[in-house]
Structure 1
Amino acid sequence: MSKVEKYRAYAAQLVRNPDDATALVNQFAVISDKKENGQYYLPLAKRAYELAPNDISPVFNYSSALHRVGRFDEGLELYKKALKLADAEWLPKVTHHMGIAYRALGENRKAAEWYQKAYDLDPNPQYLKDRAISILAQGRLKEGLEAFEIRREVAVQKAHENQGYLISQQKLPEGVVHWQGEDLTGKTVVVYHEEGSGDFIQFCRFIPKLREMGVATINLCGPVPNLLDLVADNVRVNGIVPLSGPFECDYVVGSMSLPWRCGVELDHVQGSSYFKAEPAKIPRRGKLNVGLVWRGNPAYGMDVHRSMPFGEFCPLFDLPGVAFYSLQAGPPGLEVTNLGLDGFVANLEPFASTWRDTARLIQALDVVVTVDTAVAHLAGALGKPVFILVTNASDWRWNRSSQRSIWYDSARIIRQKKQDDWAPCIKAVREELKGMISERRVKAA
Structure 2
Amino acid sequence: MILSSIIAKWRDRLCHTPNAAEFYQQLAMDLWAAGQLAAADRALAQALKLAPDRASFWVQRSALAHQLGNIQRAETDQWRALELNPQLVSSRDHLQLGNQLAQQGKLAQARQCYEWAIAQDHQCWEAYFNWGWVAQKSQDFAAEVQAYQRAIAQGCPDARLPDRLAQAWARFGKAAYLDRAYKPSIQAYQNALSLNSQQASYWSDLGCALTAVGQWSEAETAHQKAIALDPQAANYHYNLGNFYWKKADYFQAISAFQNAIQCNIHDAKSHWNLSHILLALGRLTEGFREYEWRWATVQPPPELPHPQWQGESLHGRTILLQAEQGLGDSLQFIRYADLLASSGASVWFSGPAVLHRLFAQLPAIDRVLPVLEPGQILPGVDYRSPLLSLPHQCKTDWATIPNQIPYLTVDPAWPLPPPFKELPAKPKKIGIVWASGYRVEDELHDIYLDKSLSCELLLKALQEFPVMLYSLQVGKNAQDYQPLMGQFPDLNLVDCSPWIQDFADTAAICQQLDLLISVDTSVVHLAGGLGKPTWVLLPARCDWRWLLDRPDSPWYPTMRLFRQAKPGDWSEPLQQARSALSNWLTTS
Same fold (TM over 0.5): yes
Instruction: Determine which of 392, 398, 411 is the counterpart of 1:260.
Output: 392
Residue 453 of structure 2 corresponds to residue 308 of structure 1: yes
Distance 1:53 1:8, change over 3 A: closer
> Bigger CA drift: 52-61 or 197-206?
52-61
Alignment: residue pair count: 405
Residue 226 of structure 2 corresponds to residue 95 of structure 1: no
User: Post-superposition shift, 1:43?
Assistant: 5.6
Inter-partner Cα distance in structure 2 for 1:146 and 1:219:
24
Name the counterpart of 2:23: none
Instruction: Determine which of 78, 87, 94 is the counterpart of 2:219.
Output: 78
Distance 1:30 1:109, change over 3 A: closer
Contact 1:177 1:252 in 2 (8 A): yes
Contact 1:200 1:255 in 2 (8 A): yes
Inter-partner Cα distance in structure 2 for 1:107 and 1:264:
26
Inter-partner Cα distance in structure 1 for 2:467 and 2:393:
45
Residue 495 of structure 2 corresponds to residue 347 of structure 1: yes
Name the counterpart of 1:236: 364
Cα deviation digits, residues 119-164 of structure 1 (max 9, x gap): 3445431221111222222212233212212223x16xx7xxxxxx
Larger radius of gyration: 2
> Which of the two has greater helix per residue?
2
Cα deviation digits, residues 236-280 of structure 1 (max 9, x gap): 221123422331211111212223322332222225322222583
Residue 282 of structure 2 corresponds to residue 139 of structure 1: yes
Name the counterpart of 2:312: 182
Residue 527 of structure 2 corresponds to residue 391 of structure 1: no
Name the counterpart of 1:276: 409
Inter-partner Cα distance in structure 2 for 1:183 and 1:76:
52
Q: How does 1:28-67 map to 2 (within 5 A)?
A: 28-32=176-180, 56=203, 59-66=206-213
Secondary structure of 1:83 counterpart: helix
Secondary structure of 2:388 counterpart: coil
Name the counterpart of 1:35: none
- Tell me the amino acid that sits aligned with residue 414 of structure 1: F
Instruction: Determine which of 545, 558, 565 is the counterpart of 1:410.
Output: 558
- Tell me the amino acid that sits aligned with residue 101 of structure 1: F
Cα deviation digits, residues 10-44 of structure 1 (max 9, x gap): 79999xxxxx9779735533433xxxxxxxx5665
Cα deviation digits, residues 89-129 of structure 1 (max 9, x gap): 99544421322233344443332221122234454312211
User: Post-superposition shift, 1:372?
Assistant: 1.5
Name the counterpart of 1:194: 324
TM-score in terms of structure 2 length: 0.61
Distance 1:340 1:397, change over 3 A: same
Instruction: Determine which of 379, 383, 391 is the counterpart of 1:251.
Output: 383
> Bigger CA drift: 186-195 or 54-63?
54-63
Secondary structure of 2:320 counterpart: strand
Secondary structure of 1:283 counterpart: helix
Secondary structure of 2:176 counterpart: helix
- Tell me the amino acid that sits aligned with residue 240 of structure 1: V
Inter-partner Cα distance in structure 2 for 1:43 and 1:311:
33
Q: Unaligned 5+ residue runs, structure 2?
A: 1-106, 108-135, 146-167, 195-201
Distance 1:433 1:24, change over 3 A: farther
Name the counterpart of 1:151: 294
Distance 1:195 1:255, change over 3 A: same
Distance 1:260 1:96, change over 3 A: same
Name the counterpart of 1:291: 431
Secondary structure of 1:292 counterpart: strand
Contact 1:280 1:364 in 2 (8 A): no
Q: Which is bigger in relative contact order (C-alpha 8 A, separation at least 6)?
A: 1
Inter-partner Cα distance in structure 1 for 2:548 and 2:185:
30
- Tell me the amino acid that sits aligned with residue 62 of structure 1: A
Name the counterpart of 1:164: none
- Tell me the amino acid that sits aligned with residue 331 of structure 2: I
Secondary structure of 1:412 counterpart: strand
Secondary structure of 2:419 counterpart: coil
Secondary structure of 1:202 counterpart: helix
Contact 1:288 1:366 in 2 (8 A): yes
Inter-partner Cα distance in structure 1 for 2:144 and 2:232:
25
> Bigger CA drift: 415-424 or 328-337?
328-337
Name the counterpart of 2:530: 382
Name the counterpart of 2:9: none
- Tell me the amino acid that sits aligned with residue 353 of structure 2: P
Contact 1:141 1:266 in 2 (8 A): yes
Residue 267 of structure 2 corresponds to residue 124 of structure 1: yes
TM-score in terms of structure 1 length: 0.78
Distance 1:26 1:145, change over 3 A: closer
Instruction: Determine which of 343, 348, 362 is the counterpart of 1:219.
Output: 348
User: Post-superposition shift, 1:425?
Assistant: 0.9
Q: Unaligned 5+ residue runs, structure 1?
A: 15-19, 33-40, 159-166, 441-445
Q: Percent identity?
A: 25
Q: How does 1:417-428 map to 2 (within 5 A)?
A: 417-428=565-576
Cα RMSD for the two superposed structures: 3.6
Inter-partner Cα distance in structure 1 for 2:501 and 2:282:
35
Secondary structure of 2:545 counterpart: coil
Secondary structure of 2:252 counterpart: helix
Inter-partner Cα distance in structure 2 for 1:127 and 1:12:
35
Inter-partner Cα distance in structure 2 for 1:189 and 1:293:
34
Inter-partner Cα distance in structure 2 for 1:44 and 1:310:
35
User: Post-superposition shift, 1:291?
Assistant: 2.1
Inter-partner Cα distance in structure 2 for 1:57 and 1:333:
42
